[in-house]
Each structure stands twice: as C-alpha cells, then as structure tokens.
Amino acid sequence: MALIKHVVCAMSGGVDSSVAALLLKRRGYNVTGVFMKNWDSLDEKGVCTTEKDCEDAYRVCQSLDVPFHQVSYVKEYWHEVFSNLLKEYERGRTPNPDILCNKHIKFNHFHKYAIDTLGADAMATGHYARTSQEDDEVFEQAHTAPPTTLFRDRFEIRNPVKLYKGADLLKDQTFFLSQIPQQALRQTMFPLAGLTKEFVKKMAAEAGFHHVLKKKESMGICFIGERNFENFILEYLDPKPGNFVSIEDGTVMGTHKGWFTLTLGQRARIGGQRDAWFVVDKDIVTGDVFVAPTTNHPALFRDTVRTERFHWVTEDPPPELARTQMMDCHFRFIHQMPLVPCTVTLNMDGSVWILLSQPVRALTPGQFAVLYKGDECLGSGKITQLGPSEFTLQKGRQMLREAAEG
C-alpha cells in the first residue's frame, strides 16, 4: 500500500488558505497547517492583525483535525524584504513587497522548513495559480541541491515545471509568484488552481469557516495596515524635503517631505493648489519631484522599459528568445492591469528591454515587469530604467521641426 503523502499548507487565517487545507484533507493527504509570522506587531505604533490571523488559522486546523504550527520569519523578513524595500525607496524606486515576500520567505525559508524540518513531501498555498504538474508528479520531485557550478550540464535532461494562470482570471495571482525559484515550484501544490473565488467562498461557508469568511480581503501591505503610507515610511526614513516642480515650465509649485513618500502617477498633495497635479518624475540628486497638471499627461506615458537580470520561472529563457534574442509576448507591471502586447529583447547580461505595443501610464522603476505567453507566466524582472516619455518625444519632435524651419 502506498504511503499517505504529507503536505504542509501555508495558513494565513484567510479564506483561500483555509479552503486549500480543506481540499488537501478531502483528497486524503496527511495535512499540517503552518502560520508564518513575518512582521512584529510590537515594534511600531500601528496595529497589525497577526495575532488574530494566527488564531483564525489555528481554529481552521482544529476543525479539520490537522496539526498546527507557527513559525516566525520576522528577522528574515526584516533583512531580506523590508530593508531592501527601504533601500529601494531611498533610490527613488517603488518596490513590490508581495513579490519579494514570496521569493525570499514563502518559497525559500518556508519551503525549506516544510520539506527539510517537517519532512513533508510537498508544500501547498492558497494562491490562485496552476502549474504544468499533476499533484502526483509533485511527490516525485526529490529535493535536490542546486548545482554548484554556474551552468548546468548541457546534457542533463530536465523538464522544468511551468507556472500558469489560475482558472479565476480575475483572482489570478501568478503576478505575485513570478520570482519564485524553480525548485520550490516543483514541490508546491495549488489546490485552488481550478476554482473561482465565489466557489471557494461557498466551500468555506459549507465547511463552517464563518470566522474567516467575515474578514475583509487583505489588499494592502500587511505591515502598514490601515495607516497613511507617508506617515509609515517617515517612521523609518528621515524626511528629505524638496520641491514640486512643473514638468511643463519648471515653476516651483510647492514642497514635499521626501521623494520616497511619492510614486509615479499618484496625485501630488500641493498646498494652495486648487487643481490636481500628478507625479511624473523624480530627481533624487536635487530632491525635485516633477508634476504635471492632468492625470493623463504625456509625461506619464512611456513604451519602453529595461529590467535587471530577468528571472525565468523555468530557469532558462524561452528557446525562441535564446535563439533569436527577440520574442513577442504580453506584459504587466501591476497585478490586475490588462495585459499589453510587447516585444522582448534579451541582453548579454540576462536583462531585457521590453517594447510595448502602446504607451502605458506610470511605468515605475522598482516595480516588476511580469511577462506572459498565453496562459503561462514566464517570470519577471525588476524595472531599472525607463524609455523617454511621450512628452519628451513630443518636445524633441517640436525642436526638430523648429530647427528645420529655422
């Protein structure tokens, strides 16, 4: 008789991970629920809901009659996610902590804890995503140490696991999983792969998980909670006051407390200004934040980005891109934004240039450029450089015209 497989399910105290654990239990697996604590609610003024979430996760495990553990990654989160986040803000970028948390914490430290410490055959999460593996294949993935050499043996036969969008395209969370390592993906199950959010809620209600159904969807960054972002970030970074400057004529419009409190595309709160102004660029040398008078100003639109070294979910770039250095696919840099057709160029250092089929509003350094080919999420790379804005191009064309006429 085959041994019953042991699956460790990451439990957040929310409806999705609760139903993921329920489904695993119904499929006959030996399930252990584990709650991860990533942020210490005692070290700042705001209220983090960690304690309540942990209790909710514990109640679900009790009702499913499965063992429950909690594990703290507060130190790792601080060093590998949060300090990185602060550095990025200081550089004038806008980071994405959710992508970094999955990469460094859930699919690294937690994955190792599940497999190595708890001796699980696989881990599971409540993400809305699919892979190219059937559940049975997950258990065939013995944990192997990554190669010590820089390049794998060319003749090593490997069938990388691919990451695909979940069935509920509105809830699809592959965007947040676009940086996770292949080894962890090979040993991960996504029980909600084929389900819609509505169906998951229905299952939770039928299972009597009313305490998790009553909770609000957590959309914000957990450690900020309901607080004002500017106040939060100024608890950690010293104010660096500077000027709001009009991109159109260089007029100083007002002052701000630090460029890191502002992100591209957002409305700038400028004292004494009746009309809305929007952040279009930052100069971290002078501290100037450039603003424009309309939400869809051409200074906010660009069609080219460059990333740092791109992370391919399957470890290697798609064969077509490796062969020709160019490939057509789709792009997004915000979780639920519509996918935009694009052409990708692979650089020698593993970074990519992405040329979009149309200019996109508020492309932001520090955010992740996530690429898709059909339903497959290919991976992502952090945006480090932007091409010229439509406003800059318009000014350039105008100068050329004037020079020609002169």
Catalytic residues: 101, 222
8 Å CB contact between 20 and 195: no
Alpha helices of 169-318 — where are they, by DSSP H? 182-186, 197-206, 210-213, 229-233
Integer Cα distance of 84 and 77 in angstroms = 10
8 Å CB contact between 370 and 332: yes
Pairing of strands 68-72, 30-37: parallel
Integer Cα distance of 94 and 384 in angstroms = 11
Phi, psi at 319, each rounded to 5°: -50, -40
DSSP string computed for 336-391: TSPPEEEEEEE-TTS-EEEEEEEEEET--TTSEEEEEETTEEEEEEEEEEE--BHH
Integer Cα distance of 212 and 159 in angstroms = 38
